Amino acid sequence: MARIVMKFGGTSVADLDRIRNVATRVAREVEAGNEVAVVVSAMAGTTNQLVAWCQGLSPMFDAREYDAVVATGEQVTAGLLAIALQTQGFDARSWMGWQIPVATDGQHGKARINGIAGETLIERMQSGQIPIVAGFQGLGPDNRVTTLGRGGSDTSAVALAAALKADRCDIYTDVDGVYTTDPRIVARAKKLAKITYEEMLELASVGAKVLQTRSVELAMKERVRVQVLSSFTDAPGTLVVDEDEIVEQEIVAGIAYSRDEAKVTVRRVPDKPGIAAAIFVPLAEAGINVDMIVQNVAEDGTTDMTFTVGKTDLLNAQTCLEAARAKIGYAEITTDRDVAKLSVVGVGMRSHAGVAGTMFKTLADRGINIQVISTSEIKVSVLIGAEYTELAVRALHTAYGLDA
């Protein structure tokens, strides 16, 4: 017997048939002798509609009211799934964030969970009831509904699993696991049986949109074993676990790519102390996330500063830098939207040299120019021309021996 939190995303509960299907999956786990709690998202499309209504009334809507409006989506699904489970003969009941409560810090629209009172739910599970928890929502110190930000239901599920001391948190979604790379690009991509939290974090943040980054961070912190699997097939998924659980660690776990970034180059900046701060502090204050950064020093005492920002932030970044032009003292700004970021991720890199070298050589052999490089302990990322994305991903997938 295990205690399991099962989380179902919006496409998994998109209509009554799918909700019935979810109920059947939950029932199967219960009948196998497990204690189960469920976390649900809103039915696919619902949240977008609710957000559009808020925005339609005011682009600067009150986040507290936004929370009251959008939290209804998960409330509906929780009630409906409870009914579906009851119809199949199981004892189930819905729980809103304010009823448990899921205490949050009260930052409306992007709240963080402070704690979940799990005792009552544990008692109910032990007495045979299945709690169906509305994901994405909690209760602020102001006694008002808070939401966790888009995709927050993954975080709800992991936090609940921690509070319930669950053996596993199963995240059901529309993909059946985490792959060595995007199977739409590399047909021979393999599903990973296991992956470490650290690798998952790097993959999630560079474009493998399987799990919300925050939920993986929380899982790592709370040591919650997470499984990603499909609600439409019966195939086993991918387990996201601690490094210790993975006996035979591959050097490279996967190849990720992202076309969501743009490159900005600030040319001929005086090469003196404080110049990086002069550029990046205003960007940070404007809420613009800067990713890769390289600096090339020229002979004439100036330097070129190159970095990437999200494509949606590009215009803001330009405006911000124009405003700071006098202070920074640059010659010009150039931008490039036609770039892709490629990342090779694997905890095995820590103990194996040569991973970056293989990457650079593989790309060079295909005549692909590397524009920017950045590295972390378990990741090497490069910026290349967007038109080479597929070619580069396929070449690297083969070079690291990942082809099935």
Close Cβ partners of 108 (under 8 Å, ≥ 6 residues apart): 63, 64, 66, 67, 140, 144, 146, 147
The answer to whether 80 touches 17, Cβ cutoff 8 Å, is: no
Nearer to a second copy, 132 or 171 (CB): 132
57 scored as a contact of a second copy (CB under 8 A): yes
- Within 10 A of 94 (CB to CB), how many other CB atoms are there? 21
139 vs 148 by CB, closer to a second copy: 139
Distance (Å) of CA 272 to CA 162, 301, 302: 49, 8, 8
Are the CB atoms for 196 and 347 separated by under 8 Å?
Answer: yes
Query: Can you tell me the distance from the alpha carbon of 196 to that of 136, in angstroms, rounded to the nearest whole number?
Result: 25
Candidate residues 24, 28, 32, 53; the one interacting with a second copy per rule CB under 8 A: 53
Indicate whether 334 belongs to the interface with a second copy (CB under 8 A): no
Residue 40 touching a second copy (CB under 8 A): no
Is residue 360 classed exposed, middle or buried when 0-12, 13-18 and 19+ CB atoms within 10 A define those classes? middle
CB of 175 to a second copy, least distance (A): 27
> Which segment (53-61, 154-162, 339-347, 378-386) binds a second copy by CB under 8 A?
53-61
CA distance 180 to 188: 9
Piece of 69-77, 158-166, 252-260, 328-336 that binds a second copy (CB under 8 A): 69-77
Closest CA to 41 of 3, 15, 11: 11
Q: Is 94 in the site for a second copy (CB under 8 A)?
A: yes
Which CB sits closer to a second copy, 3 or 144?
Answer: 144
User: Considering the complex, what minimum distance in angstroms separates the CB of residue 47 from a second copy?
Assistant: 12
For residues 146 and 63, what is the distance between their CA atoms, to the nearest angstrom? 9
Task: Indicate which single residue of 14, 19, 40, 396 sits in contact with a second copy (rule: CB under 8 A).
Answer: 19
Quick one: which of 20, 150, 190, 268 contacts a second copy (CB under 8 A)?
Answer: 20
- Residue 27 as a binder of a second copy (CB under 8 A): the answer is no
Rank residues 25 and 397 by Cβ distance to a second copy and give the closer one. 25
Structure tokens at 170: 């199963």
Does residue 44 interact with a second copy by CB under 8 A?
Answer: no
Stretch that binds a second copy, among 65-73, 171-179, 263-271, 316-324 (CB under 8 A): 65-73
Report the nearest approach of a second copy to the CB of residue 52 (Å). Answer: 9
Q: How far is CA 74 from CA 94, 147, 155, 302, 371, in A?
A: 10, 11, 14, 54, 44
Q: Is 61 in the site for a second copy (CB under 8 A)?
A: yes
Q: How far apart are the first and last CA of the chain?
A: 34
Residue 306 contacts residue 294 (beta carbons within 8 Å): yes
Does residue number 87 form part of the binding site for a second copy (CB under 8 A)?
A: yes
What is the binding site for a second copy (CB under 8 A)?
16, 19-20, 50, 53-54, 56-58, 61-62, 64-69, 71-73, 75-76, 78-80, 82-84, 86-87, 93-94, 96, 98-99, 143-145
